[in-house]
Amino acid sequence: MFITNRLLDRRASSAFVLGTSALGILVAAASCSTTSTTFLTTDETSDASVDAEAGEAAIADAGADADAAETGAVNAATSDAGPPPIQCVDAACAKSLVTTIGGSTAGFCALLDDATVACWGFNDSGQLARPSSVYQSAVPERVLGLKDVVRLSHTCAVDKDGATWCWGTGPFLQSTTNAYSTEWSPVKMAIPTATHVDFMNGSSQAWGTVSVGCAVVEGDSVACWGLNGNGQVRPPTVNESVTAANPVTTVGIPDGEPIQDIFVAGATFLLRTDGTLLSWGAKPLLGRVSSLSPDPRPKPVALTGVTYVDAEGGNACVVAHGSVYCWGATLPQAGDSLSNALPRQVMLPELAVSVATTGAFYGSGSYDPQRGCAVTLSGDVYCWGSNTSGQAGDGTRDFATSPVKVKGLPAPASIVRTDALATCALLTNGKVYCWGENDRGELGNGAIWEPSLEPVEVLLP
């Protein structure tokens, strides 16, 4: 197994591994080399590699424990605490915060206290649900047509009646010829009554082309639709088209405790109320060892006590018993294929309640590897990784090889969200503060092309 306890050379356009420091950060190295695809029939899928699978969970657990022991990254304390509740201090108050689509999309949306949604940032693909003539906006505005929203995930909202409304670009079941469409205002999704919904739309060297949505629907079951290149909708078959969209399909989920949430990236993750996390889809995002690529079988990730999950593109991070673990397609050319598939612990000065990550971002011939941020029990925010625009929040543009504390937040945070170049935090008082790049108005403070190394308040409506 590849052990990330040393600091590798870092170049602007090549891989790196976050080395140990006083905080002892440990993040997975990853390989973005193209993987082969194993296509199975439905019957073959349930029987494939059963004997090999019996030992894989043990390998994954042992690998994660060995890496932690190697670097001294073992926390004796544990916690099952989630993000603290929001206590609004005035009428302009947010209860939830998301990125508009995920990865490097330069925009955010907030679920407001009055059950409406406000968005700001980039609008090149309808992310703000405003006319196409509005290319970007630094002023948050309510999404017209949405009310009684109880759940927000990227640019999809679930209302109190279980109806799902989506806007922007994604697998929104509006086209008869394409897996995705661009919607400049919310459209009602033709799916069963839902409690949770998520989607991914994009492509990468690491996880291929993904335009797929999933929802937790009536009867505590899971339905998915869209492209099936990663086996997220159903088990792939021989000679199956990877460009044809699949209708809404029930996914076979093993029996277990009630479903708490669902997350869609290059792989799909299902969180149960007992802290079990299941995954299926593309390697290396599974968070477990698998003999299949992709693996369409929902099986447990090698962690217990999971309380919080964030998955974007080819990367994932979770909070489990208060500790943060990350894995995925973060680092090309850095070690064997096993090292990037297993959860690796990110050491923080205290236990965490929430975490966020970005998808791998390619731009201008360079590569920005995975970065992340976490909120701790005290309400502090720590970030690590890329910091070219000050998105780590420590007042510098220095690469954060270990977690650095965000400076200047006026109140404790509840959750944090990251895109490639900017970061936003929802505070326990209902205020949202952002920092980093601002080329598309993603800081939401009314200014464009004015980045900030310190958190600035979002002008919530």
Q: What is the mean pLDDT of each run of 10 residues along the chain (461 residues)?
A: 26 31 33 35 41 40 39 63 96 97 81 98 96 96 98 98 97 92 97 97 74 94 96 90 90 96 96 98 91 94 96 93 88 42 92 90 47 96 94 96 96 96 97 97 96 98 97
In a domain, 31, yes or no: no
Residue 129 phi, psi dihedral angles, 5° rounding: 60, 40
Nearest to 368 by CA among 326, 407, 332: 332
DSSP bridge partners of 112: 94
Q: Which residues contact 62 (CB under 8 A, 6 or more apart)?
A: none
- Both tokens of 112, joined, read 């407001």
Q: Which residues contact 368 (CB under 8 A, 6 or more apart)?
A: 104, 358, 360, 361, 362, 385, 386, 388, 420
Instruction: Give the C-alpha separation, 309 to 422, whole Å.
Output: 20
DSSP bridge partners of 142: 118
Please list, residue by residue across 153-176, b when 16 or more beta carbons sit within 10 angstroms of its beta carbon and e when fewer do: bbbbbbbeebebbbbbbbbbbbee
Domain that holds residue 234: 42-457
**What is the end-to-end Cα distance of the chain in Å, rounded?**
51
pLDDT of residue 66: 36
Residue 224 phi, psi dihedral angles, 5° rounding: -130, 160
pLDDT of residue 360: 60
Instruction: Give the C-alpha separation, 110 to 104, whole Å.
Output: 17
pLDDT of residue 46: 43
In a domain, 203, yes or no: yes
Adjacency order of strands within the sheet including 181-188: 149-153, 156-159, 164-170, 181-188
Conformation bin of residue 291: beta by default, left when phi > 0, alpha when psi is -120 to 50 = alpha
How many structural domains are present in the chain? Answer: 1
Instruction: Give the C-alpha separation, 252 to 266, whole Å.
Output: 19
Instruction: For the full predicted model, state whether its pTM sits above 0.75.
Output: yes
CATH number at residue 103: 2.130.10.30
Instruction: Give the C-alpha separation, 200 to 177, whole Å.
Output: 18
pLDDT of residue 102: 59
In a domain, 11, yes or no: no
Q: Which residues contact 113 (CB under 8 A, 6 or more apart)?
A: 88, 91, 93, 94, 95, 430
In a domain, 37, yes or no: no
In a domain, 313, yes or no: yes
Cβ-contact 329, 315 below 8 angstroms: yes
Instruction: Give the C-alpha separation, 24 to 27, whole Å.
Output: 10
DSSP bridge partners of 99: 108
